[in-house]
Structure 1
Amino acid sequence: MNWREILAYEFLGNTVRDFLIFAGILLFGFIFKTVLSRLLSRILYKLVNRFTAGEDNQQAFKRLLIQPLEVLLFLVFMYFAFVALNYPLDPTEIRDGDHIIKAFAFRTYQVFVIVALTWVILRFVDFIGLIFKLRAEKTASKLDDQLVPFFKDFSKVLIVLFSFLAMLGLVFGVNVAGLVAGLGVGGLAIAFAAKESLENLLASFTIFLDQPFVVGDLVQVAELVGVVEKIGFRSTRIRTLEKSFVTLPNKFMIDKPLDNLTLRTFRRAKFDISLTYHTSSEQMRAITRDIQAFIDSHPRTNSDGRVRFLNLASHSKDVMVLYFVDTMDWNEYIDVKEEINYKIVEIVGRHGAAFAMPTQTLYLKRPSQNPPTTTLERPSYTRESDME
């Protein structure tokens, strides 16, 4: 038997040639799916090239799309591979009474194609969101910094919902129009079931319109203090001072008292200096006067600073130091505070005073050399016979 006869040999309604074509298409798709996905991503990038520029953006576009494009292309090659075979019935058509395995296999393939196509679209939306995020970072306003991730997530939710409805209609034959119309009847029940989600969504619009805070602000909500990193359509993410990442529902952000620390015009510093009781009144006056003069003349403080001899504690004379630093940046604030602290230590040392520490003095009384002795006298008894 020569190779022509082998290729013409029929098995399960198909020749060996048909099976080789089937395997060749699958092998070709598996080997070249990465190369083809890179080529296709390059073509798609040219379509959006007018919205962006730079090699970094092109690399980000490829990194986002290559993996979902590989899956989608392999599914396309799988389709052509199975079409190359001969079947008693067309496998791309599902009729009533068809074998359950055939119906399950074809519908599963359709589901995978819709999922892969949705994956590609979602990654494309991620890239568009990245471009607008980079543009928003170049503007002075912070409103666009929080609108970009919000609309990106909102668009992705709509795409997933549309893909799910398309899957129900195309794959499972559900009357999508009737289903959407039926939601009007069950809309009340769905609204109650999604009550928390709807409240958070409405709260997100309140945040965008009222703008109690924007991305990058340092806020305090209840006992939580941190920097706002992202405002989504359901939650707000905050990076705390301990560098932990906390996600709070948007409803919580507008229902609780919120202190936007970034909107403060100054940062306050207040502490006490404890000096020993050996410090004289002249030294106290000179120390408070010099500290007050230095704070008033400092370029990063305002004129509301107060330095006063305020308290006589059990172990020290306390001087209150109060001033306001003209900055919202935490690093600048602690740098100014450190500079003033060094100056305070220098002023106290220059006037011959010392800082007090909580101490206790215990006085012990030394006993005398010859302590008095105590003599115990025995009582005497008198008998009547002795008196006689």
Structure 2
Amino acid sequence: MCSPHEKYYGMILEITQDEEVSGLWTKIMGYIIFHNTLGDYLITLAIFVVGSLVLRSFKKLLLIKLRRWAERTNKDFLAFLLKSSEQNLLPLIYVGVFYVSLYRLNLSPLWTNIANHVSLSLTVIFSIRFILALFSRGLEYYFQKPETDSSKRYIFIIISKILTFVVWALTVVILLDNLGVQISALVTGLGIGGIAIALASQVLLSDLFNYFTIYIDRPFEIGDYIVIDSFSGTVENIGLKTTRLRSLTGEELIFSNTDLTSSRLRNYKRMFRRRISFSLRVSYQTEATLVKEIPQILAGIITSMPDTELNRSHFSGFGDYGLNFDVVYYVLTRDYIAYMDIQEQINLKIIDEFSKRGINFTYPTQTLYVKNG
């Protein structure tokens, strides 16, 4: 057994060893590296690690589960919002945790500026990404509805890309200016380069701008039957540079958007009724009573047809080869086949009615009178 004196000296030895370990730990933690103690670095690392673990747990336990639930229940906008937050806002919070953890360190002015600029740049980048995602989602909701035709969906792609390019270009310029970069020379160079590119691609840009003109003014849409000069066809596609038509004979007609906007065109789909006029000629040997009846006969035939509206029917004058009659009426449909069917029935009825009354059509003839000398 140990004596009381031995126990006492043992306790003193243990206390001395603990003090030595504590002093060594304090000395290690107080070791200075680049104006900061090792303890400060460890605390900074601990803050960042703990913050990152909390955010990671939040992402797994809440964000991902909420997004999957929204996808299962067809809550599209909520699912998009959660996914966009996971991709943009969560990294933004990581940047915030990193920036806060650095506050404990005594950094040199150079490293302080670097940390500030990096944090600001990342904050701006992720914020812009989130805002652009929301804006693109709004455009997509407006332009990508099932009832929206494909020509209008092009505008979503173009607006989205142009807006994205402009916003990111402005963001880069602002960030460079914030970093102290002299951007005046850069902007001047970009301006000169832009002018050169614009001159080189003048035709392409003209077609692109005329595409927007067609979309905004809407002189025609997909499915319209239009006539341009001596060409005609049904519009099948309105592209960024060209518009494609399908002619009645089956071939594809391709026009640049600039040609279409600078040409006079006729859009038959906008026609709500078709005005028809025709003339016919009867023999000079027709009796006067029948001549008086012919306008009423023609008017009766027109009014007996469905989807027609009579405008006028007249004995218009004396021709070289016979008596002239003019008829004007409207077909109350834009369908060309329906118009031809109606005109065919009218022609057949005219032949029947004239045959019943003995009225003869005339045709170019020449009568020679020979006088005996």
TM-score (norm 2): 0.51
Q: Deviations over 1:213-252 (max 9, x none)?
A: 1011112223333221111011111223443322111122
1:282 equivalent to 2:281? Answer: no
Distance verdict in 2 for CA 1:209–1:156, change over 3 Å: closer
* 1:320 alignment partner AA: D
Aligned partners of 1:282, 1:156: CA distance in 2, in Å? 76
1:326 lines up with 2:332 in the alignment: yes
User: Equivalent residue for 2:341?
Assistant: 335
Matched, 1:244 2:251: yes
Cα drift, residue 296 of structure 1: 2.2
- What 5-or-longer segments of structure 2 have no aligned partner? 1-73, 75-142, 163-185
Distance verdict in 2 for CA 1:212–1:153, change over 3 Å: same
Secondary structure of 1:305's match?
strand
Is residue 364 of structure 1 aligned with residue 370 of structure 2? yes
The amino acid across from 1:189 in the alignment is: A
2: CA distance, partners of 1:146 / 1:180? 35
- Report deviation, 1:274: 1.1
- Indicate the residue corresponding to 1:256 in structure 2: 263
Q: 1:195 to 1:313 in 2, by over 3 A?
A: same
CA distances 1:336-370 after superposition (whole Å, capped 9, x unpaired): 11111111111111211111110111233456xxx
Structure with the largest fraction of helix = 2
Partner of 2:113: none
Which residue of the other structure, out of 296, 310, 314, is the alignment partner of 1:308?
314
Map 1:86-101 → 2, pairs under 5 A? none
Q: Which letter maps to 2:152? A: L
Whether 1:195 aligns to 2:202 is yes
Give the corresponding residue for 1:268: 275
Check whether the contact 1:287–1:347 (CA below 8 A) recurs between aligned residues: no
Distance 1:232 1:153, change over 3 A: farther
SS at match of 2:237: strand
Deviations for 1:131-178, whole angstroms, at most 9, x for unmatched residues?
x99x85xx4xxx624224676799999xxxxxxxxxxxxxxxxxxxxx
| Aligned-residue identity in percent | 34
Could you tell me whether the CA contact under 8 Å between 1:238 and 1:245 is conserved in 2?
yes
Q: CA deviation at 1:180?
A: 12
**Bigger radius of gyration among the two:** 2
Q: Whole-Å Cα distance in 2 between the matches of residues 293 and 151 of structure 1? A: 54
Query: 217, 223, 227: which is aligned to 1:216?
Result: 223
Distance (whole Å) between structure 2 residues aligned to residue 188 and residue 283 of structure 1: 77
**Count of residues in correspondence between the two structures:** 216
User: Alpha carbons of 1:349 and 1:154: their partners in 2 closer, same or farther (altered >3 Å)?
Assistant: farther
Name the stretch that deviates more: 308-317 or 234-243: 234-243
> CA separation in 1, counterparts of 2:159 and 2:245?
20
Change (3 A) 1:180 1:220: farther
Which residue number in structure 2 is paired with residue 354 of structure 1? Answer: 360
Q: Which residue number corresponds to residue 152 of structure 2? A: 147
Which residue in the other structure is 2:115 paired with? none
